[in-house]
Amino acid sequence: MIVKTLLAAICAGLMAGLFMTAAQELRVVPLILQAETFEGEPAPGASPAHEHSSLDSSSLFPSLTSAILPITPAYAHDGETHEGGGILFGMGRFSGTLIANLVTGAGFGLLLGGLGILTGSPPSLRTGLTWGALGWLAVHMLPALGLPPELPGFPAADLSERQTWWLVTTALSALGLGLIALRPGVVAKGAGSVLLALPHLYGAPQPADIASPVPAVLGAEFAVAALATTLAFWLVLGSVSGAINDRFLKTA
């Protein structure tokens, strides 16, 4: 039964990841590639933007970058020199994206399935969409209020501070939404709302200098595209999880 549950969640996640890859290639990746062509340029009135990853085959200045930096640019923003950049197993950029989507999908599928089991109401075909929408709110929409999806080249505060804020916000949002959605009573809903608001009252880490070489229009398009594709991803994930649960786990 345990293995079956895990497999169901992983299957749903893989399907959602596959779907996400298609959605990304249509809308999100083109915007990332376009932004990377601006990335090396100095922002108007700002210190030169930090260098970007070693995936700069599409960048306008690959030779310039490698001429200036003997190490791969991935080091430059990584800050630690423990290993070189480059894509796992020497795969192409698309393969890397596909693998990462599958892994992320399986991961979110397992998280969703695990929370469903622990709260005693795993996603079904009927509740799958709601589960998916709540997952999107907790992982993407609410954290995006403080840290909107960024394009390469956007100014940003310290990485570990942002990651910490993101993790805490995601966890508190999930807890708050769980209280609101699953617990009856005004007290639970009030407490849930407070949990949702807390990280935003504290405030997300913001960059000191917001000048950017990447055009603002690209950033706006990207933020909408990223939130829309992740919403679709979570709705697919919730529905497929529910369908698989209904079909294979009802009798288990």
Partner 1 sequence: MAVTNASGVSLSLNDRMIAGLLSLCIGAFLVFGAGLANSAVLHDTAHDVRHSFGFPCH
Q: Please give the residues from 84 up to 143 whose contact with partner 1 meets the rule CB under 8 A.
A: 84-88, 91, 93, 96-97, 99-101, 103-104, 106-118, 120, 140, 143
Interface pick for partner 1 out of 47, 57, 67, 82 (rule CB under 8 A): 82
Site string for partner 1, 21-40 (x = CB under 8 A): ---x---xx--x--------
Shortest Cβ 194–partner 1 spacing (Å): 24
Please, which residue, 167 or 194, has the CB nearer to partner 1? 167
| Residue 182 touching partner 1 (CB under 8 A) | no
- For 211, how many CA atoms within 13 A lie in the half-sphere containing its CB? 11
Which residue, chain included where needed, has tokens 């992983």? 10
- Nearest to 99, CA basis, from 18, 19, 11: 18
The answer to whether 48 and 213 have CB atoms below 8 angstroms apart is no
User: What angle, 0 to 180 degrees and rounded to 10, lies between the N-to-C axes of helices 2-23 and 216-244?
Assistant: 150
Shortest Cβ 252–partner 1 spacing (Å): 9
Please, which residue, 62 or 114, has the CB nearer to partner 1? 114
Shortest Cβ 162–partner 1 spacing (Å): 4
Please, which residue, 189 or 232, has the CB nearer to partner 1? 232
- Nearest to 237, CA basis, from 2, 7, 11: 11
- Nearest to 199, CA basis, from 222, 219, 176: 176
Interface pick for partner 1 out of 75, 131, 195, 196 (rule CB under 8 A): 75
Shortest Cβ 132–partner 1 spacing (Å): 15
- Nearest to 51, CA basis, from 27, 32, 75: 75
Interface pick for partner 1 out of 11, 34, 124, 148 (rule CB under 8 A): 148
| Residue 231 touching partner 1 (CB under 8 A) | no
**Within 2-21, which residues bind partner 1 (CB under 8 A)?**
2, 5-6, 9
**Within 38-67, which residues bind partner 1 (CB under 8 A)?**
50, 52-55
Which residue, chain included where needed, has tokens 């260098």? 51
The answer to whether 183 and 164 have CB atoms below 8 angstroms apart is no
**Within 183-202, which residues bind partner 1 (CB under 8 A)?**
none
The token duo for 220 is 């706006």
- Round to whole Å and give the CA distance between 97 and 119: 32
